[in-house]
C-alpha cells in the first residue's frame, strides 16, 4: 500500500510558498506514485498558479493532487503517513493530536527555506522537537551534497535544452504571450519585489548600444516600473518604448509557461525561492532579489550563495556579478555594475549553463524526500 502524504502550506509571500509546495506535490504524485493531500490556507494565491482552482471549494482534485483548503476552524482529519510542514508553518493542534494517536507515528518533517549556508549540511535530516512521541525532522533543500537538493522534475534539463535549440518553438511560445521582439534584441525578464535601484538599471538599459526587450510579469515591481515610465498605470499587455528599451507587461502565467519564459531570455531577474531555482535550471545568467528579513540577515544568505555560485569564475567576472547582486539587494545604483557585468558576458553566460548541469547531478528534492521516508520506515 502506497504511503499517504500531507503537505501543509501557509501562504506568506504570495506565490513562493505555494509555488514550491504545488510543484512538490505534483512531482510526488507523477514520478513517485504517492497519495498527496495539499493543505493551503489561501486559495486565491493558488489560483494565480492554477487557474482551474475553485476558490470556494474545501476539497478538489487538481492534476492528481488532493487539494484541501486549510480552514481556520479545523475539522477532525486522520493523519497521513508522511507529514510535511512547509517553511516552519504551524500545524493545526487537532491534527497534531491525530498524529500522536496513530499506532505508528508518521514521519514529520519541516521543509525549510533554501539556503547555501555551510551549517545547512550539518542540520539536514536532524531531529527537531517532539510532540507526544512524534519526532519532527529538519529537511533542508540545498546546493551542496548532504542537503535535500532542489526541485527538479524528471527530464527537465533535457526539455530545456531542446527548447533552447529550437528557435521556432521559442518564437511560437513568445507569440502566444503577445511578445514579438525585434531581431538582435536582448530579451530579459524581471520578476522582483519593490526596488529603489530599478530606475538606475532601466536608465542604463535605455541608453545601451544594444536594444533590450524587458518582459515584466504582473507583480510587486510594477509600481517602480510605472514610475520610471511616467505612466498612470500598467496592466498585462502594455508595451512601452524608451530609446533602446522596450518594456512589456505580461500576465501572471502558470508555472510551465514561466519556465519557458525563462528559457527564452538571455538574462532573468527573479525573486524569492521558486523562481530563483527555476532561473538556475534555465542555464542563463540571473539576478536574485532575495526576500528581505529583519536585521539584514538575508544578506548572509545572499553572500553564502554568491560564494558558492561564483567560485569557478575569474576574479574579474566574480567581482562584477557580486557587485550587481549586492547593488540590487541593497537598493543601490545598478548602472556601473550592469556595465561591468556585460564586459564578462561570455564567461558569465557559459558559467550559468555549467552551474545548472552540475546541480542537475544531485538527487532532486522530491526524490530525496521519498528516499528519506523509505530509509526511515
Kindly list the catalytic residues: 17, 273
**301 within 8 A of 329, measured Cβ to Cβ:** no
Collect all residues with Cβ–Cβ distance below 8 Å to 164 and sequence separation of at least 6: 170, 263, 283
Q: In what helix (H) or strand (E) does residue 228 lie, and over which residues does it extend? A: helix 222-229
End-to-end CA distance of the chain: 13
Least Cα distance to 191 among 352, 328, 336 occurs for 328
Collect all residues with Cβ–Cβ distance below 8 Å to 64 and sequence separation of at least 6: 26, 29, 30, 36
The DSSP secondary structure of 305-351, one letter per residue, reads HHHHHTTTS-HHHHHHHHHHHHHHTTT---HHHHHHHHHTHHHHHHH
CA atoms within 13 A on the CB side of 161: 9
Find cell 496513530 and name the residue.
102
Q: In what helix (H) or strand (E) does residue 358 lie, and over which residues does it extend? A: helix 345-359
Least Cα distance to 222 among 187, 254, 193, 261 occurs for 193
Least Cα distance to 172 among 47, 45, 305, 263 occurs for 263
* Three cell numbers written together for 328: 540590487
Strands 186-190 and 212-217: parallel
Amino acid at each position: 500500500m502506497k504511503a499517504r502524504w500531507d503537505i501543509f502550506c501557509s501562504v506568506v509571500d504570495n506565490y513562493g510558498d505555494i509555488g514550491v509546495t504545488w510543484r512538490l506535490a505534483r512531482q510526488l504524485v507523477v514520478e513517485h506514485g504517492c497519495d498527496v493531500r495539499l493543505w493551503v490556507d489561501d486559495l486565491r494565491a493558488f489560483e494565480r498558479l492554477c487557474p482551474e482552482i475553485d476558490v470556494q471549494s474545501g476539497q478538489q482534485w487538481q492534476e492528481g493532487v488532493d487539494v484541501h483548503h486549510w480552514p481556520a476552524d479545523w475539522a477532525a482529519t486522520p493523519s497521513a503517513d508522511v507529514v510535511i510542514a512547509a517553511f516552519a508553518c504551524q500545524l493545526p493542534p487537532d491534527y497534531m493530536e491525530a498524529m500522536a494517536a496513530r499506532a505508528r507515528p508518521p514521519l514529520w518533517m519541516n521543509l525549510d527555506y533554501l539556503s547555501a549556508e555551510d551549517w545547512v549540511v550539518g542540520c539536514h535530516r536532524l531531529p527537531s522537537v517532539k510532540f507526544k512521541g512524534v519526532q519532527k525532522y529538519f529537511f533542508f533543500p540545498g546546493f551542496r551534497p548532504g542537503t535535500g537538493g532542489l526541485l527538479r522534475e524528471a527530464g527537465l534539463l533535457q526539455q530545456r535544452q531542446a527548447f533552447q535549440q529550437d528557435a521556432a518553438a521559442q518564437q511560437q511560445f513568445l507569440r502566444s504571450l503577445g511578445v514579438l521582439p525585434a531581431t538582435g534584441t536582448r530579451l530579459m525578464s524581471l520578476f522582483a519585489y519593490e526596488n529603489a535601484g530599478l530606475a538606475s538599471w532601466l536608465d542604463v538599459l535605455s541608453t545601451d548600444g544594444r536594444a533590450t526587450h524587458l518582459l515584466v510579469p504582473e507583480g510587486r515591481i510594477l509600481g517602480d516600473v510605472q514610475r520610471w515610465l511616467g505612466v498612470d498605470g500598467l496592466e498585462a499587455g502594455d508595451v512601452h518604448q524608451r530609446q533602446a528599451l522596450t518594456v512589456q507587461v505580461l500576465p501572471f502565467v502558470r508555472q510551465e509557461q514561466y519556465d519557458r519564459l525563462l528559457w527564452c531570455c538571455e538574462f532573468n531577474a527573479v525573486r524569492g525561492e521558486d523562481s530563483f531555482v527555476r532561473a538556475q535550471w534555465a542555464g542563463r545568467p540571473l539576478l536574485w532579489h532575495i526576500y528581505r528579513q529583519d536585521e539584514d540577515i538575508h544578506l548572509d544568505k545572499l553572500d553564502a550563495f554568491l560564494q558558492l555560485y561564483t567560485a569557478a569564475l575569474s576574479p574579474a567576472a566574480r567581482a562584477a556579478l557580486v557587485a550587481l547582486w549586492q547593488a540590487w539587494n541593497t537598493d543601490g545604483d545598478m548602472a556601473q555594475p550592469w556595465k561591468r557585468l556585460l564586459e564578462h558576458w561570455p564567461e558569465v553566460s557559459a558559467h550559468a549553463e555549467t552551474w545548472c548541469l552540475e546541480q542537475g547531478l544531485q538527487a532532486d528534492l522530491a526524490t530525496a524526500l521519498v528516499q528519506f521516508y523509505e530509509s526511515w520506515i
